[in-house]
Amino acid sequence: MTARMTRLCLLLLLTLAGSVCGGLAQSQTFPSKPLRLVVPYPPGGGADGNARLLAQPMSMMLGQPIVVENRPGASGILAANTVLQSAADGYTLLFDTFPYVVNAVLHKLTFDPMKDLVPVSQAINMPLILVVPESAPFRNIQELITFAKANPGKLNYGSYGAGGAAHLAAEMLARDAGIDWVHVPYKGGAPAMADVLAGRLSAYFTNPITGLAHIQSGKIRALATTGSQRMKMLPDVPTISESGYPNFEVVEWNGFFVPAGTPPAIITKLSDTIRLATLQPEVQQRMNAQGVEPVGNAPKQFTLFLQGQIEKWGALVKSNNIRAD
């Protein structure tokens, strides 16, 4: 009996050793062909630009081309399904954004975003900026809130669709500040910004990639930002959290995912490559100039961040009775 147990233990150890060695060998030979990076949004947008910016140094480090494939539609669900249908070998990655976690609480998905896809690394953080037309009478967020409380339903705010960061940031402000304002959804950020510039929209939570140039030119006015700290590019603009709402924080983010079942050694190699890409001086310079914060964290950190986001936005969706379009 002892001899038999000994043989079983040896067999188990050999099996484990073979698995570890096989995984290491696979990671050492990975990648041996081009990679595909699926982006859920059209070419030319913020997510597409960030994906391509990071793909270039990653490609150099990995020694293989990274082909960016744009698959817009259904708030990122189409792109996620594309990646889920690919082999779990590290050669197909999803580069998704804020709606990834909101889809989990707003839609009935055919997949579990926290089980069927594996978080690899959060690439960036990007706080939003609450802007108003240059002609607006509000010089700070307190003046906007005071007016909104005295005039329920008279102010409106734009978004690029239900469940987007701009929409949920405005809903969070409505909940926390006790204001009532009207949601005006657009098909994208560009038409929403056009109506702010024209004075047809009272307010809009823009991302810095879209809004910074207009703020710096004086065409629109920034009242507050939604990060935990002031933006480097707008040091004189306070955060909402320091303006009387200490728990207020909304950040757009971009991150990498692979299908569940991808070997851990390959996930680690991809995560390390993403981290090194975010540390490249040219990448940091270009991101910082756009108001984007490079992150490049590990899978465990990214997973914890996503779990917190799902909990946070799930609570807001329930409290404000938010529904998908």
| CA 227 from centre of chain | 13
Identify the pLDDT of residue 3: 61
- Helix runs in 188-293, H state only: 189-197, 208-216, 264-278, 281-289
**Tell me: the pLDDT tens digits for 36-51?**
999 998 888 888 999 9
Mean of pLDDT over the chain: 91
**Is the pLDDT at 16 greater than 80, yes or no?**
no
The CA distance from 183 to 323, in Å, is 12
pLDDT of residue 324: 72
Of 141, 291, 288, nearest in space to 215 by CA: 291
Among residues 170, 125, 113, which one has the least CA distance to residue 297? 125
- The Cα–Cα gap between 45 and 210 comes to 9
pLDDT cut 70: percent of the chain above it: 91
What is the band of 5 on the pLDDT scale with cuts at 50, 70, 90?
A: low
The answer, yes or no, to whether residue 315 has pLDDT greater than 90, is yes
What residue ranges define each of the domains in the chain, with the CATH number in brackets? 33-126+251-319 (3.40.190.150), 129-243 (3.40.190.10)
Say whether pLDDT at 24 is over 60: no
Q: What is the pLDDT of residue 160?
A: 83
CB 202 within 8 A of CB 173: no
For the segment 283-308, the average pLDDT, to the nearest whole number, is 95
Q: What is the pLDDT of residues 199-247, one digit of tens each?
A: 999 999 999 998 999 999 999 999 999 999 999 999 999 999 999 999 8
Query: What pTM value is reported for the model?
Result: 0.86
Average the pLDDT over 71-79 and give the result: 89
173 vs 142: CA distance, rounded Å: 12
In this predicted structure, the answer to whether residue 1 has a pLDDT above a threshold of 50 is no
